[in-house]
Amino acid sequence: MAKETEIKLRVTPETRDALQAHPLLAARRQGDWQSGPLLNQYYDTPERDLAGARVALRMRRDGDQCIQTLKTRGQSVSGLSERNEWDWYPDSAELDLGLLDDSCWPQALADLDKTRLQPIFTTDFNRTKVLLRWERDSAAGPETIEVEAALDRGRVLAGDREEGICELELEIRQGPAVAVLELARELAEDLALMPCDISKAERGYRLFDPASYDLRLQSPAWTADSTVDEVIAGSIRQLLGQSQRLAEQYRFAGQWRLFRDMTTHLASLRAGFGVFDLALPKSSAQEFTRSLDALLERFRPLVLAGWADDEIGRKARDQAPAVFAAVVDEAGWGQLFIGLALWLEQGAWQLNRPPKGDRIGALALPRWLLASAAKEIQELRVPNHNDPDAAVSEWMDQQARLGRLYYLLSQFRAFLPVPEPDRLFGELNKLQALLEQYPAVDDEQRPLLLDALRKQGQRLRKLNAWRELNT
């Protein structure tokens, strides 16, 4: 068994050509680029049992060589994935079931009748590859890095459905995973690279069933002993990964709810950089918060307008695909997502932070959460029945704070020691939804919305959780 660690980056044909001539790769390549077709047949049962067990089985033809491969499907964040892989080199392209023994076959499929495995889909593409080698400075001294760079172009074919392939794969052959992220980040400085959190096998299954592509990453297993630094790493990694998976699925399916959910996750990711005080210094995340603010400035107006079931709403929903396509075709998209993945891999928020930041980073989750939620609640300006209509501008200014509360309570409210934290979360969400509607309603409806905002403020003030957090 080998462990495959790689980053997959979707590119345009023009970017693919530019990569082959890129000076950074030219300076590090060992020998010339080599090209050839790779013909891949994937197998599963008619009921897709292997897909359900997160396993991919394929037979590849690489020139005269046949390669039978079994892969487990690891979680991928911003295109970087790590999977277990078994390769065999049979004499023919016929699937050898005898190789699929207990040394590799997952326990979840122990009772599967392997004779029911049949061809499901193909991924045929031309691969142009080269080995890269360079020296990287590390804490232990210089280390040699080897990475295989592969430019793939072809198609996934499942019955009468197909999807194009045009991507760059960077697979680490020697050295730490962080090196491949560093290389990808350098390439993203002047090229549009879209981290691609979907394997070629997943694309094949998605052609049969778009819902087969899992949009959610496994949630971190928080406990009362989890530290703030663990929360920073786990929660931001999860939001980053889910945002990227939603972006990938929206690119494929174009469904409005995916664009809306992606924007919500990006907003939560942005809010997450504002709740950890000195444990996550602003200076360590400044480049990401600027980029996220710029993205949200383009996406959020469409989401807010798109709720309306009228001409304005339909126009916003119709505009979203073009806006999204323009954004991912810019270098900033890859710079943000690859840069954040590298930042997480390096634990960069912990570098050169003040001693108080180290102390906060070591706090247990419940203690930090109580202080953070109380601070936001105590400074939250919610509508009051005595407030004049002109106060709506002050209420509207609270949306960033409500976003931070959404981040805190959506993920961690089970650890908040106050009565009915779920109810507090729900009522705060209702307040935020009302505030988001205000700019879109016409003058005749605004008195009704202002009245609803005042009533929602009163509901919040009556909650026991609200009272405890305000003491």
Helix (H) or strand (E) holding 405: helix 399-412
Amino acid at 93: A
* Count of Cβ atoms closer than 10 Å to residue 40 Cβ: 21
For 321-362, how does the pLDDT look when each residue is reduced to its tens digit (9 = 90+)?
999 999 999 999 999 999 999 999 999 999 999 999 999 999
Quick check: helix, strand or coil at residue 60?
strand
Any idea which of 6-15, 76-85, 113-122, 157-166 has the lowest mean pLDDT?
Answer: 76-85
**Statement: residue 283 has pLDDT above 70:** yes
What Rg do the C-alpha atoms of the chain give, in angstroms?
A: 25
CA distances, 323 to each of 33, 263, 293, 318, 327 (Å): 35, 13, 15, 10, 6
**Statement: residue 456 has pLDDT above 70:** yes
Average pLDDT over the chain reads 93
**Statement: residue 80 has pLDDT above 80:** no
What's the pLDDT band for 471 if we cut at 50, 70, 90? confident
Return phi, psi of residue 15, to 5°: -65, -35
Residues 6+ apart with CB under 8 A from 331: 188, 189, 190, 191, 192, 193
CATH code at position 157: 2.40.320.10
Q: Which of 214, 238, 272 is at the close of a domain?
A: 214
**Statement: residue 4 has pLDDT above 90:** no
* 303 part of a folded domain: no
CA distances, 143 to each of 33, 43, 148, 169, 330 (Å): 24, 40, 17, 22, 33
How would DSSP label each residue in 117-158? -EEEEEEEEEEEEEEEEEEE--TTS-EEEEEEEEEEEEEEEE
**Statement: residue 1 has pLDDT above 80:** no
Spatial contact of 435 and 395, defined as CB atoms under 8 Å apart: yes
Residue bearing the bigger pLDDT, 296 or 83: 296
Amino acid at 50: L
Per-residue pLDDT, 84:
87
Paired strand residues for 195: 9
Per-residue pLDDT, 217:
80
* 359 part of a folded domain: no
* 278 part of a folded domain: no
* 340 part of a folded domain: no
* 350 part of a folded domain: no
**Residue 187 corresponds to which tokens in the numbers above?**
């390439």
Q: Which of 151, 185, 214 is at the close of a domain?
A: 214
Q: The domain containing residue 152 runs over which residues?
A: 1-214
Per-residue pLDDT, 79:
63
* Count of Cβ atoms closer than 10 Å to residue 46 Cβ: 9
**Statement: residue 463 has pLDDT above 80:** yes
* 413 part of a folded domain: yes
Q: Which of 157, 184, 214 is at the close of a domain?
A: 214
Q: Whose CA is closest to 122, among 66, 73, 58, 74?
A: 58
**Statement: residue 78 has pLDDT above 90:** no
Judging by beta carbons within 10 Å of its beta carbon (0-12, 13-18, 19+), is residue 3 exposed, middle or buried? exposed
**Statement: residue 76 has pLDDT above 70:** no
Per-residue pLDDT, 24:
96
CA distances, 235 to each of 75, 89, 227, 269, 276 (Å): 15, 41, 12, 9, 12
Per-residue pLDDT, 90:
93
Return phi, psi of residue 59, to 5°: -120, 125
**Residue 385 corresponds to which tokens in the numbers above?**
């029945």
**Statement: residue 180 has pLDDT above 90:** yes
Amino acid at 16: R
Per-residue pLDDT, 178:
92
**Statement: residue 77 has pLDDT above 70:** no
For 166-179, how does the pLDDT look when each residue is reduced to its tens digit (9 = 90+)?
999 999 999 998 99
Residues 6+ apart with CB under 8 A from 383: 391, 395, 431, 453, 454, 456, 457
- Residue where the block lists tokens 């911003």: 78
* 461 part of a folded domain: yes
Judging by beta carbons within 10 Å of its beta carbon (0-12, 13-18, 19+), is residue 390 exposed, middle or buried? exposed
Amino acid at 99: L
Percentage of residues of the chain with pLDDT beyond 90: 87
Angstrom distance (rounded) from CA 352 to CA 380: 32
b (16+ CB within 10 A) / e for 112-139: beeeebeebbbbebebbbbebebeeeee
Q: What is the mean pLDDT of residues 12-35?
A: 95
Per-residue pLDDT, 429:
96
Q: What is the mean pLDDT of residues 211-216?
A: 88
**Statement: residue 75 has pLDDT above 70:** no
Number of domains comprising the chain: 2
For 425-451, how does the pLDDT look when each residue is reduced to its tens digit (9 = 90+)?
999 999 999 999 888 888 888 999 999
**Statement: residue 96 has pLDDT above 70:** yes
* 332 part of a folded domain: no
Paired strand residues for 10: 167, 194
